[in-house]
Amino acid sequence: MEKYILKKDNIILSKNGYPFKVAIVDIDDVQILPVGNLYVLEVNKELANPYYIKVFLESEKGIERLKAIITGVTIPVINVEKLKGIIVSLPDIEEQNRLVDEYLNGYSRIKK
């Protein structure tokens, strides 16, 4: 079971229902085993900032791409094979980090 425990900066994506929920694991001192109705995305941090991917998945373009891969009529479900094929436009990592800093600063102001 240890290999399934969430790691810091994993992205959690709900696979059932719409709107889909996206979150980042922001703890590393507690062991959490995700439930079966979640996808856990592990990001290569040399290529992409996990927060950039999260923001993309929550953006209009990201939602549009997720909607394009759902199956099911009554309860929309994200197809895992199609999820693996989603293309995310990535600027260089420095630009991603700059955009994420802006996002997190704005989020922090809203939270206050």
Q: What is the pLDDT of residues 97-111, one digit of tens each?
A: 999 999 888 877 887
Q: How far apart are CA 11 and CA 45, in angstroms?
A: 12
CB 40 within 8 A of CB 7: no
At residue 13, does pLDDT exceed 80?
A: yes
pTM for the whole thing? 0.88
Kindly report, residue by residue over 26-44, the tens digit of the pLDDT: 988 889 999 889 999 999 9
Side-chain half-sphere exposure of 59, counting CA atoms within 13 A: 11
Kindly report, residue by residue over 60-103, the tens digit of the pLDDT: 999 999 999 999 888 999 999 999 999 998 999 999 999 999 98
Residue 2 is predicted with a pLDDT of 83
Residue 25 is predicted with a pLDDT of 96
